[in-house]
Structure 1
Amino acid sequence: MSGDIDFDAGALRRFLDDRFGPQDSFALDRISGGQSNPTYFVTHGSRDMVLRKQPNGPILRGAHAVDREYRVLDALHPTGVPVPKPVLYHEDAALLGTPFYLMERVEGRVFADGALQDADPSERQALWMALADAMAQMHQVRPDAVGLGDFGKPGNYFERQIGRWGRQWEASETGDIPELDRLLAWLKDNLPEDDGAVSLAHGDYRMGNVLFHPTEPRVVAILDWELSTLGHPLADLGYCCMAWHTAPEEYGGILGLDLAAEGLPDEETFVARYMDKMPDSAPLLTFHKAFSLFRFAVIWVGIADRARQGNAAGSSGTDAAALARRFAIRGVEVIEGSHAASA
C-alpha cells in the first residue's frame, strides 16, 4: 500500500467487506500524476477497481463533481462507448473525507504525450485515428436517449463557457497574464453563430485521458469525466487539436516535431478522420482551437490557485502559472495564424 493515501484505508476496506463480503486480500495504491480528482487502484479480493474522489480541503463550487462523473459512466456503459463499468457511488463524505465512486479497472496502455514516445512509430497514426473514432462515437450518443438530457444547458455553449472561464480568471489570485486577457477579448468578439449542435462534451478529451487496448490501436476506455457536460462537439475536437499547437514540453504537444518522421498524423488528417464519422458536423474553426487553449490556460490558473492553498496534486503554483501563460501565448499564436491550420 502506497504511503500517500490521504484517507483511512481501513475504513474503505471495512466498507467493501460490508458491501461485497469479507476478503483476505486488500490493496490500495494512489495513481501518480494528475491535477484533478485523486485516483487510486483498489484490489479487494478478486475485484480490481479504480476509486475516484474529490480532493481534500476547500474546492470551488461545482468543481470535482464525482457524482457527475459516475452518472456519465452509468449512462454510457450500456451504449458501447468505451468507458469503465461503474461499480458504486458513495455520497457520504464521512467515510473517506469526500464523496467517491468506484469503477472496474480496465487493462490497457496509457500514452502521456501526443508524440506517443512509448508506441512503435508504425502504430502512432493508427492510435491517433482511434482517438478520433472514439470521440465521434461519444458524440453520436444522444443525451436524451441515455438519461443525460438534463446534464447541462443546451445551446449557446461557447458563449456560456467563455463567461464561466472568464469569471474564474477574473476571480483568480494568479498574477497578470496579458495574453490571457487578449485571448478572452478575441473570443468574445469572434463567437461563431450557434448552430444548435448538442452532444455530451467530455471537456478534457486528449491522448492522456484514454486507455488503448494492450496490443491493438483501439480505445478501450475514456477516462476522467470531471469536466463533462452537455456541450458542442467541436469543443472536444478543438481541444484535441491543441496537440498541434503546443510543444512537447507544454503538456505533451507535438508542435515542432517532424510528424512524418515520427509516424504522427498532421492536424488535417486527424480532423478529417473525425469528420468522416460526423458528416453533419459544422467545420472546425480557428475559434474552436483558440477557445480550447484559453480554457486550458484558465484550468492551469485554477491549479496554481489550489497549489498556493496546498490543495493541488503534484504541481507548484509557480509551475502551474507558467504553464497557464504558455497556453495563453499559444492561443494568441493561433488567432494570429502562427500555427492555425483551419480557418
Structure 2
Amino acid sequence: MLFITCRMPTRNTEPELNRDFEFDLGNNASNRAFFCCRRKKKGRYEEIGSKALLSGLKAAKHRQVLLYIHGFSNLPEDVFAAAGEFQGLCDRKKQGEVLVVPVIWPCDNDLGVVKDYWDDQKAADQSAFALARMFQKFMEWRASPEYNPEDDPCLKRINVLAHSMGNRVLRQTLANWHRYDLPQGLPLLFRNTFLVAADIVNEALHRGHAGELISHTSRNVVVYYASDDLALRASKVANVRNAVASRRLGHTGPEDMDLTPKNVYAIDCDEVNTAYDPPKGHSYFRSGTKKGRPGVVFEHIFETLLSGRVFPADETRKSSILQLRGG
C-alpha cells in the first residue's frame, strides 16, 4: 500500500531515500517535510520518494484515487487497517475503480483520551505545513512536461476522505497552501471531498470561515454527521476544558446550510452510526453491521465516487437521512 506521511522516522536519511523507514511512535511532532512511502507488510515500510509515488499512482489500473486522512489517536498500523478495510470494500464493489492512499499525521500515543486529544490538535495544525507542500508538489508534478506531457497527461480523479480530526488537518492544510503558495486562490483539485464525523466547529464551512477553502478545491463536499457520536462528545469535553465551546460539524452538520457554498451537502447518519460502530458511533463509514459487508454510508460514498453526484436523482437536493438496512 502506498502512503504519505509527515510523521517523524526514527532515522531521517534526507536527501537520500530511507529504504528501511521506521515510524518514531514516541514523537508526535510533525516533520517539516513529507515522506512518500510503501508499506511492504505489517511494520515494514520503504520510502520511495514523491516522483515514484506519483508515477505509481498515474500508472495504477484504478480510475480514481482517494486520499484518506485519519482521525485522532490513530497510530500507523491502525490507519493501515482502516484504509485496508475501505480498499477491500471498494474492490468488492468494482475492481480497478478506487485506490486508497492513507495520509498519516503524527497522533500521540500518551495514555488518557483528553490529553491525547489536545496534543493531537496541536499535531494536526503542525502537520498542515508539510501537507500543504505535498499538494504544491503534486501541482508542479502534474504541470511538468517531463512527467505529464500533452500526449500522456494524468487523468486520475482525486478525492479525499477526512475522518474526525483529519478534517482539522485538511482545513489547516488548505489554509496554509492558500497563504504561502497560492494567495490568488486554490485550484479545483478534488472531485469529491467526504467529511466524516468532522471534529471542527459546525460553522467551519460557512462563507468567510477557514473551512470555506474546502469547497473551493472540491466539486462536491459531503458532510456525514450523527448527533450521538460519543467520540465527538469527548472532543467537546476536551475543548470546553480548554475554553473552546462550539458544536462540532460531525454532530450537527453545518450550522446553517444557507451560509455554506452551493456545493456543500449534509447527510444525517444518526440511524446507522452506533449500529455500525458500537458503542462510540464514530467510525461508521466503512463496513456495516458485519465487517467486510458495506454499510449504507459506504454505499453512498461509493456511489458518489462513481457518479460524481451526491443526489443524482435530484440535483437540487442538499441533505438526506440515511436509513438502516441490511448491511
Structure with the higher fraction of residues in strand conformation: 2
- Max radius of gyration: which structure? 1
TM-score by length of 2: 0.29
Structure with the higher fraction of residues in helix conformation: 1
TM-score by length of 1: 0.28
